[in-house]
């Protein structure tokens, strides 16, 4: 196919990765999905519909395995990389600092080094709004990011810093997307909205950290995928590019408001128990999107009410029966 690109997606069988791989295939690109297949049954389900595509290739391995990475880079001629592979989650990182550093930081450096060796210089990195720490204002890309409150956030900020050195010294073209509270189909089961729907199905109590007044910029997965696609397009037209860009929904609601929206959608009352504040949690996230609009022509399309409706339909028809 004319102008067909070959894209490596690390963590491609995960939540965001599998949705992105599907969209890249629909766009006509060749997609190499690299994943360690941790929690294999979930990963298999995520990409089961993609395996029949002649443009989809699955490589199972660890980004810290340099020999494996070099084998993959020898096999394909990549135009760009989307780096999603990571240990995810603020809460999980609190008691697993070394593991999060090893996978997220050392793994990224292994990837950067192999990219450098094979002269693959275009990369979109999935960073996180958590790098902003306890900053309660509208978050813009030049807001303070020196006070992360969790090891997970610190690893994401560290990779951003390393990515700049590869841009400056080795001619990489890099876009770091700071993602805000992504949700939607194929969402990881440990994320809040997925946990709420599972608890509803099992008639369990929903546990909420703190008082539920913490604010989140919940961003639907299709909007996030759109940002990655537009970032890849921008990388293909620019040289010497380094950017950090927020990707959010242009609104911020409390966890309590989210529960109200879900209750209205399912037409039943949810049993909630408030528990102690979680270590490493932050009180508020709200993405300033001026830069995303200017550079990527990014405009979030799915409001939270619609997103919950779409997620419920998918959950009822896909995930619920497999839990």
| pLDDT over threshold 50, residue 305 | yes
**Helix (H), strand (E) at residue 70:** helix 66-75
| pLDDT over threshold 80, residue 280 | no
Q: What is the pLDDT of residues 91-122, one digit of tens each?
A: 889 989 999 999 999 999 999 999 999 999 99
- Counted residue by residue, the chain has a size of 323
- CATH topology for 6-182+218-249+284-301 is Rossmann fold (3.40.50)
Whose tokens are 């390393």? That residue is: 162
Angle at 301 between CA 299 and CA 303, to 5 degrees: 125
CA distance 99 to 24: 31
The residues assigned a catalytic role are 152
CA distance 211 to 214: 8
CA distance 250 to 297: 14
Q: What is the pLDDT of residues 116-145, one digit of tens each?
A: 999 999 999 999 999 999 887 789 999 999
Instruction: Tell how far CA 74 is from the center of its chain.
Output: 27
Q: What share of the chain is helix, strand, coil (3-state, %, to 5)?
A: 45, 20, 40
Angle between helices 192-201 and 255-266 (to 10 degrees): 40
Q: How much is the pLDDT for 48?
A: 94
Residues 311 and 183 sit within 8 Å (Cβ to Cβ)? yes
Q: What is the pLDDT of residues 247-258, one digit of tens each?
A: 999 899 999 999
All structural domains of the chain with their residue ranges: 6-182+218-249+284-301
Helix (H, G, I), strand (E, B) or coil at 280: coil
CA distance 20 to 182: 13
């Amino acid at each position: 196919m004319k102008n067909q690109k070959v894209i490596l997606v690390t963590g491609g069988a995960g939540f965001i990765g599998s949705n992105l791989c599907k969209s890249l295939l629909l766009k006509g690109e060749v997609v190499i999905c690299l994943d360690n297949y941790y929690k294999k049954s979930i990963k298999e389900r995520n990409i089961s519909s993609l395996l029949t595509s002649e443009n989809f290739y699955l490589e199972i391995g660890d980004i810290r395995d340099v020999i494996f990475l070099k084998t993959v880079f020898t096999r394909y001629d990549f135009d760009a990389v989307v780096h999603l592979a990571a240990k995810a989650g603020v809460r999980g990182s609190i008691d697993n600092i070394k593991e999060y550093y090893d996978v997220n930081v050392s793994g990224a450096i292994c990837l950067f080094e192999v990219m450098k060796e094979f002269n693959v210089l275009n990369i979109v990195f999935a960073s996180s709004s958590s790098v902003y720490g306890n900053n309660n204002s509208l978050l813009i890309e030049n807001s303070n990011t020196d006070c992360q409150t969790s090891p997970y956030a610190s690893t994401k900020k560290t990779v951003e810093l390393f990515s700049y050195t590869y841009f400056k010294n080795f001619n990489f073209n890099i876009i770091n997307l700071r993602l805000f509270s992504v949700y939607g189909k194929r969402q990881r089961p440990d994320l809040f909205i997925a946990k709420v729907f599972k608890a509803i199905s099992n008639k369990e109590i929903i546990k909420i950290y703190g008082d539920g007044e913490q604010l989140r910029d919940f961003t639907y997965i299709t909007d996030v995928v759109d940002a990655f696609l537009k970032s890849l397009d921008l990388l293909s037209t620019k040289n010497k590019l380094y950017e950090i860009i927020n990707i959010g929904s242009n609104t911020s609601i409390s966890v309590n408001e989210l529960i109200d929206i879900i209750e209205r959608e399912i037409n039943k009352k949810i049993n909630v128990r408030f528990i102690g504040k979680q270590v490493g949690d932050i009180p508020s996230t709200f993405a300033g999107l001026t830069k995303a609009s200017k550079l990527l022509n990014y405009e979030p399309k799915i409001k939270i009410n619609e997103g919950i409706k779409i997620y419920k339909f998918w959950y009822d028809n896909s995930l619920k029966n497999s839990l």
